[in-house]
Structure 1
Amino acid sequence: MKRRYLLGGVLALGVSRSFAQTIVPNAQALSGSRFLAGDVEYLLADVMAPPLYVLGDQAPAYFERSRIALQALLSSRVDVEDALPPTRWGVKPVIVKVAGAEETLQETLTRAGAVRVTPQTENHDFIRRLLALEQEARTGKTGLWALQDYRIFDADKAYGAVGAYNLIEGTVLRAEKHGSRFYLNFGEDFREDFTAGAASRLYTRWLKSGVDLAAFDGANIRVRGFVEAINGPSIDLKHPLQIERLD
């Protein structure tokens, strides 16, 4: 059966810290970051497992091991907290903890290399914690980080990353605003070289909160996101923590 690759197109809102709802341990893991409880589908906010919905019949690398890792955590009672509004498909992004535990499922799975970080919420401290755990897992080649499928691409080889969520590293040649978008260009030819860009309204909002994309001019950075072929390989920035400064 063919499946569509879906990325949750949700707006980043604040994450409260009260866990009011409890899901009994009959939840079914659909992937390493999605599960079903009753007739409601949930998505772990700020992380992404090898995707459930893909083009074609073959599951992505590490899909089943990631799903099993989440299922093991769901064998206990878990507390669920809404993180973002439901997606247009009715999936609820959530923060989840095993009842009585201090660590979220997101943190446990990131440490195990079962998921990658996908910044979505406004809880930047939480996302930075996940990024630190991801770095440890990646350094130790833990879980999916041991596989070539989840390697980090150099910006000058970003064409190989098109069509999936990937991490790309390189030096920003120019950081500049053109029309309704702000661009981080990694090469001389913006029609061919890797580019990361954000809508001007997001650039302005981030600037007011202390994140200036112009400050990445000449910087060595890591960018994460879904890579599309639009005037060369490109990532549409939706969250400031999609960018990590490496220097």
Structure 2
Amino acid sequence: MAGPDKPRLVCVDPRDTDVARHAEVHLALKPGTNLALMHGLVRELFVNGWIDEDYIRRHTMNVEELRSTVEPWTPQEVARTCGVDAQDVRRAAEIFGTSERVLSTVLQGFYQSSQATASSCAVNNLHLLRGLIGKPGSGILQMNGQPTAQNNRECGADGDLSGFRNWENPQHVQELAQLWNVDPATIPHWRRPPTPCRSSATWSRLHPVPVGFGHQPGRVTARTAPHPRHPGQSGPVPGGAGLVPDRNRAVRRRGAAGGRVG
């Protein structure tokens, strides 16, 4: 951030962080007003023509509905709702709307606040309106979980097969084995994906250095197929998923013990 060709940085954070101190624009909005701010930024793209009409026509839908939704959110209204300066809203939108390449990182402040899903989708909308999806040097990093829940699984490191491959598709398993240069038998496709709490340890024993990206969401269930190394055994695979946690039972136990239920 201190080099001669440093990027233009916009920080959206109520706190005075190190990132905020290096930002060209720091939008220290009131907690819980993320969506109002995002609507205001989207509106500025429409108003100033910082959108890719051809990309929008070919790759999106319902753009006029979006336009009408954000129309009330002028910089002045965003400033009143979010507690930021209207000119800073314009400056942030100008940076996003006119930069050749844009990288957005979205962290837990969005996901654990009011209207989190809509706010996160609004970040995607900004990139869609600019036609930046798939453009070199641009991207959206929606970091929506702990390392084992999100980041590791994107490279196939916690029990999910990378590249959106299917556990029960032999061709997918074979392809992945070829890419990783491993024996297909070492890829644990003989059972469904493990539960999140057990997946990292199980996968790391089988594949210490996985590569790739993406994941294939799977149902978290126990499977009673024979184990490949223990054909005589059935039931949950030894060292594998085990039974699906019963959250409701855990809640009932807390209630029975005098703890708060909910």
**What is the TM-score when the length of structure 2 is the normalising length?**
0.27
The structure with the larger Rg is: 2
More strand by share: 1
The structure richer in helix per residue is 2
